A and B are shown apart, each in its own frame.
Chain A
Amino acid sequence: MIEAIGAGKAYGGVTALHGLDWTVREGEWWGIIGPNGSGKSTLMRLLSGVERASSGTIRIHGRHVGGYNRKELSRMMAVLQQEGMLPVRYPVREVLEMGRHPYLNWLGQDPKENVDEMIDGIMEKLDLLDLADRHVDELSGGQRQRVALGQVMAQEPQILLLDEPTTFLDIHYQQQFMELVAEWRKEAGITVVAVLHDLNLAALYCDKLLVLRDGRAVSMGTPEEMLTSERIRSVYDVEPVIVAHPVYGAPQVLLSKAALKRNKEEGN
């Protein structure tokens, strides 16, 4: 369980996030949406504990996030960053094994038995077995993103934070990525918090959405409640058309051309 209690963050004199009150329950999949500069990434940095809130607190499982050391924290929580996996010169398998780092003792031993089988299982699931000995810097963007996902899977967290994980992927890999996370959640019961730019993906996969604008929570609730034309218009300053997904019924956001033109004219 993650709780933000009046959590805020200021850089210099600029407030990036104003006192946020928000609760994520175990097993939920939250999407965080909002325009650029709305405080999404700031919130992710506070949740992952790499930065401290300037006001209020973030609690993970009832304890202040700063009260855990990095190893304890990374056993509970894994983070997949926007830039994903850097093109490093390590074999794929070794990069996946690096996900076990939070569990290793000072001799570098993993207390878990059958780690090799576990890594094999992950690689099979992510279709990485053929790439096991290839270096990460020889892989394509989509393959690297699968390696990054494999690493966080090896980390066996209870909470997964995703920061715009599909930004650099084509629609094939976008869908594949979201499906893999959904399958993982179903199997392991993990909690997922994902910053997403793609509102339609968010509506399809997330249980709940948190809408941010100018560092404040505009609203939170189910995708059906959040993705209304009124709210999208006021948050993103666009003219949307909301339709129900013909198969799943989830709201999908379309843009209208004329509206964009009109906005432009008003802007001038």
Chain B
Amino acid sequence: MSKKLAGYGGIGLALLVLTLLICLGIGSVALPVKDIALIVLHRLPWISGLIQPTWDPSFEQIILKVRLPRVLLGMLVGAALAVAGSGFQGVLRNPLADPFTLGVSSGSAVGASMLIFFGLQYSLIGAWTLPALAFVTGSLTLWGVMALAREGGKIPTNSLILSGVVMQSFLGAVVSFLTAMSKQTVNEILYWTMGSLSLRGWSYTAILLPYFLVGLLLVWSRARSLNLLSLGERQAAHLGVNVEGLKLMVLLVSTLLTAAAVSMAGVIGFVGLVIPHVVRLIVGADYRLIVPLSAIGGGIFMVWADTIARSLLAPTEIPLGVVTAFVGAPFFGYLLYRSKKQRKGMGA
């Protein structure tokens, strides 16, 4: 297992670094990969002395002030959504579970839409008002869904998914209503619900990073129990897993990861659903591999998606949620088709 993790993890991390270097170079001003690598290395405390600045100072400004914070935020948002997705799929033992199944993203969107609708998005705590409220309403939604699903101290998986779907359609209607009633010429609510990473500074990245790391470690630490859970809830209990405690913990952490990502970048679909599946198709059913590799995969996927979103039709930005669905859905379809064909081949 650890050999497999080192292998896949190493390849994944290498791809991630390559992705970061390439995507940092793409934009209105194209930058060479070599300069990007040197600029970034120069900023690392213990090797900065070894590197002589030979690049155009304006390049450094573009990288450090504009592109790097955006690319890193995209990486974290993607990673957070993918880890949350793997957590949901593991706990609910349902391949359709993703960060949106439980209505969390719709909950966050309601909070954000309200603020935008009443023009309050910069009140109270400035630019932080919107993410903060989106986070609160997202978490409240989870609480509501769980309360709705609870039966005698237990949370049966089926009623949890049902409550989530019900809550999601209700809250989705609220957001649609607010969007329709909004009189702005540029509909900010609509734009927000489609997701974007533009104009977010370093502070977003700085807040999301520790949050994401804690969430990743908590879900990863439960990977072995999630493996046992795939044998069935009762069988897992017979093998020493505290099933209700495990479900509650992983659901909570995954929801908070989702709420954090959604509150900062808006509603970005498909990452939480597709990435864990792709990872599963490649490495198998072991959550000890799925959780960390989903984080890496989600990061890579989101950085590329955002690069396409901001550069394909530049200077117009395509909503990020649109890109993730455009790229994610066909890719997922292809993988599904391939694995089906493989299984048929094996059966013959």
Residues of chain A whose beta carbon lies under 8 Å from any beta carbon of chain B: 48, 50, 69-71, 73-75, 77-79, 81, 83, 85-86, 88-90, 94-95, 98-99, 101-102, 104, 108, 138, 151, 155
Is the beta-carbon distance between A88 and B241 smaller than 8 angstroms?
no
Min Cβ gap B148→A in Å is 20
Is the beta-carbon distance between B240 and A74 smaller than 8 angstroms?
yes
Is the beta-carbon distance between B286 and A101 smaller than 8 angstroms?
no
Complex partner residue of A102 from B230, B231, B239, CB under 8 angstroms: B239
Is the beta-carbon distance between B285 and A90 smaller than 8 angstroms?
yes
Complex partner residue of A81 from B228, B235, B240, B286, CB under 8 angstroms: B235
Known: A81-B235, A90-B284. 7 other contacts (CB 8 A): A48-B238, A50-B237, A78-B238, A79-B234, A79-B235, A86-B231, A98-B239
Is the beta-carbon distance between A88 and B240 smaller than 8 angstroms?
no
B227 in contact (CB, < 8 A): yes
Counting chain B residues whose Cβ lies within 8 A of the other chain, the interface size class is: 10 to 19
Please indicate the chain B residues that have their CB under 8 angstroms from the CB of A69 in the complex: 242
Residues of chain B whose beta carbon lies under 8 Å from any beta carbon of chain A: 224, 227-228, 230-232, 234-235, 237-242, 284-286, 346
Min Cβ gap B276→A in Å is 14
Bound complex: CA of A135 vs CA of B56, how far in Å?
56
The 5 nearest A-B residue pairs measured at CB: A102-B240, A74-B240, A71-B240, A79-B238, A89-B285
Please indicate the chain B residues that have their CB under 8 angstroms from the CB of A75 in the complex: 240
Please indicate the chain A residues that have their CB under 8 angstroms from the CB of B284 in the complex: 89-90
Bound complex: CA of A222 vs CA of B208, how far in Å?
66
A-B contact pairs, 15 of them (CB 8 A): A48-B237, A71-B240, A74-B239, A77-B238, A79-B238, A81-B235, A86-B231, A86-B232, A86-B235, A88-B231, A90-B230, A90-B285, A90-B286, A98-B239, A101-B228
Min Cβ gap A257→B in Å is 39
Closest to B224 in A: A108
Closest to A155 in B: B239
Min Cβ gap B140→A in Å is 31
Please indicate the chain B residues that have their CB under 8 angstroms from the CB of A94 in the complex: 286
